[in-house]
A and B are shown apart, each in its own frame.
Chain A
Amino acid sequence: MKIKVWCQKCVLLLVSTRTMVQARNKGEPGNSDQQKHTSTETRTIQERIVNVKMELWSRGAYSFHDENVIEEQDESYLSNLETQLQMAPLQLGPIRQARRDVWRKQHQQSSSSNWWNQFRGGGDHVYDEKARLDTLKSVFGPEFTAALEQNQREHAIDCQLSCESFYCATPDTPLKPLNELLSNNETIVQSYSFGPVPPEGFGETFGFPLDLIKVTRGKSLFSAEEAAQVIAMAEAEGVEKNEYKSGKYRLGGDWLDNLPSTRKWFNEKLESTFFPLLAHLFPEIISSPAALRAHSVSLLKYNASHPRTDVHIDNGILALTVAMSPQDQYEGGGTFFEHMGQDDVVEMDVGFATLRPGSVRHGGHPVTNGHRYILGGFLLLEDRVEHVRRLKNRGTELRHANDLVKAAQHFEWALAINPKCTTCLKDWAEILYSQKQLAAAEEKIRAALDLLENMDSDALFTLGLILSEQGRDEESIAAYQQSIKLNSDDAELCYNLGIKLGAKGKTNEEMDMYARAVKVDPSLGGAWLNWGTALAEQGELDDAEPNFLKAIECGDEVAPKGMINLGLLYHAKSKTLAQGKDAILDA
């Protein structure tokens, strides 16, 4: 099998070399010639591969692209990884430093044959879920125990419902060999880093390092002709009649529950391809294909009016995305993972798939022309109840119901099971913020950002809000600006940053932000209103007028404000036109 490894950060070679030299002088682990020599002599290739991967991970080299993860992890593969390691920039933030400290400690005590297992899932410790839950039951009492039991019941129902709609393998179903699934290795699987935080469910169980985003490459899993037939079938079933909402975006498409013929095809693919492939790719978490359950499966249609999904995480321990349209039928599109940067788009042509844990933050790059169909589904594991996700979801529901105390309790429980549940920290911070407990809110959101190494635009947005509320304007602006670097398509963020910049007298930058905000979301009336106001304050009445008219079109609370400001503008115009006439009544 051909191995292809490349590094997007090669341009940083000189810089990283210098940094590495400095690190060596400080005695940083993993850079000692003696240590490397020892490793080479005493460890197997497999061990050395894990070692190098972990070193890459600890350096924040998340964009490394690792093909051929399943088989043939040989000398050549190791050599490529080591080359990549030399090129990787040495970026040590506080969390990475903590990881490295753990790594160093363990590295020095490497007598254990499987020492690297100590770091699986983020470097904490080997995890015994049952023991932890039993301990927590005694800590939190019967309410917590009841919540776990509710999780189990809901999980069982979801799994049962899944089998009513989607293919479920029986326990005696044999696992198809990987060679067969990958067309004798004509199909390869490329891995991308999952980012700094392990999956929210069973994080400690997933393999280390977290190269958990798997994308098929090479030969497609099914042909373009087959995909075209499926799309024609779905269109005949009325897939285009439905519309979803993803954050601020509208999406075309429909649930497969409403598209029976398309679902039949998908079920065949689950059986023949996706379930066995998943079982091979994630053996640490999937006990057998018979444990897999599909739910919330939909066929989405992207086009210029329905361009993308917002940045989000998926509601399942695993998720599956399948490209159903040839790349020559659309422009733009593709998925980006926030920790990799919004411009680092993972592209997939028709017949290719991405398989990964659900809890990584990702979004769609906008489709600007043509149309693109994507089949997406969330997956459960029948033998693993996702307590963290279910507690967190229930907490969110309680927030919607304005029961903030219970909501916070659920986030606390979820965090007790998984202290790295960053969405739990974020949601809890927002509750504290709404309760004006700003110091506590800041502590929670900063904890999430520390874990995520600041690579979360939503968390930075919330931090900006919290700091703003405390009157720490400069810090607030800095947080918003960090956020916008990660997700420049966030209209509310642009709007808030515009307000802060305007308050600092930076009117041109303020107006730029409003312009960006309404480009993303033309219905954001506040941005039209403030943009018009900024123009009017500069005397640009003619330019301000259409903005106020747009604000009025947006309706809701902003419309009457737009009317008032437009009234002021017309009053001002009236005064201007009347200038020079000696009014007979100067009342």
Chain B
Amino acid sequence: MPRFRIISEVQRLTFFLPSFLSLHQVNNDLKGAHEYAVKASELVDAATPFLQEIVDRGDGDGDTRRYLEQIAPLRLRCHRMVGQLLAALGDLPGCEAEFRLATEKFPTDPGAWQMLARILEVQGKTDETRQIKEKLQAIIAAAAASVIQ
């Protein structure tokens, strides 16, 4: 009869943060950068339901929950990267669409609205920019109020 072995309670899967990158490197490969940013976005989107399912059924260890908590900030960073690169490549409508998507996914995140306001401003859409900035202020005020409470 095989032994019933406990494999490990010490599994710690590091969630690495790429703080190691050289800030002085100059590449200017915007198209390549965009492709990688899109792939990163797709991977994060693909992983999310799996992680959620694992946590929902109660199988996840502490790391799984930690990964899940990291999804939102990472996805927001991906939106920002993709949008920035589209803008840099001259595709301002594409950038706007990417940032609108970010506000839909993260409606309470000030960063998403801030990005959208910026691209609208760059495109001269002043009315909508003003509306978005007002919304942004409201979100920030609500967040501050919740912290005080």
- A residues within 8 Å of B by Cβ? 246-247, 312, 315, 393, 396, 399-400, 423, 426-427, 430, 433-434, 458, 462, 465, 468-469, 492, 495-496, 499-500, 502-503, 526, 529-530, 533-534, 536-539, 557-561, 563-581, 583-587
Q: Is the interface of A mostly helix, strand, loop or mixed?
A: helix
| Chain A hits for B33, CB < 8 A | 573-578
> Which residue in A495, A537, A557, A586 is a CB contact (below 8 Å) of B14?
A537
Question: Are A587 and B84 in touch, CB under 8 angstroms?
Answer: yes
In the bound complex, residues from chain B placing their C-beta under 8 Å from that of A462 are 6
The 0/1 profile, CB within 8 Å of A marked 1, for residues 24-48 of chain B is: 1111111011111101110110111
In the complex, whether B93 has a CB less than 8 A from a CB of chain A is no
* A534 and B17 alpha carbons, distance in the complex (Å): 11
Does the CB pair B59–A557 fall under 8 Å? yes
Check if B9 is an interface residue, CB within 8 A of chain A.
Answer: yes
| Number of B interface residues in the complex (CB < 8 A) | 71
Indicate if the CB atoms of B60 and A557 lie closer than 8 Å.
Answer: yes
- Besides A534-B14, A576-B22, A580-B27, 8 more A-B contacts (Cβ < 8 Å) are A427-B4, A433-B6, A539-B20, A564-B70, A568-B17, A575-B18, A577-B36, A583-B87
Beyond A469-B10, A573-B36, A585-B115, whether A393 also contacts B43 by CB under 8 A is no
A574 touches B60 (CB 8 A): no
Among the 9-residue stretches B74-82, B127-135, B138-146, the one with 4 or more Cβ atoms under 8 Å from chain A is: B74-82
A557 touches B54 (CB 8 A): yes
B83-110 CB mask vs A (1 if < 8 Å, else 0) is 1110110000001000000000000000
Give chain B nearest CB distance to A548 CB in angstroms: 9
Among candidates A427, A536, A564, A584, residue contacting B88 with C-beta atoms closer than 8 Å = A584
- Within 1-24 of B, Cβ neighbours of A (below 8 Å) are at 1-18, 20-24
What A residues does B61 contact at CB under 8 A? 557
Q: Which of B11, B74, B95 contacts A499 (CB 8 A)?
A: B11
Q: How far is the CA of A521 from the CA of B17 in the complex (A)?
A: 27
* Residue contact B26 to A580, C-beta cutoff 8 Å: yes
Select B21's contact among A427, A434, A561, A575, beta carbons within 8 Å.
A575
Distance A345 CA – B44 CA, assembled complex (angstroms): 49
List 8 A-B pairs, Cβ < 8 Å.
A427-B3, A465-B9, A539-B20, A557-B54, A564-B70, A566-B43, A568-B17, A578-B81
Q: Across the interface, do A465 and B10 meet the contact criterion of CB distance under 8 Å? A: yes
Bound state CA distance, A580 and B22, in angstroms? Answer: 11
Whether the Cβ atoms of A567 and B10 lie closer than 8 Å is: no
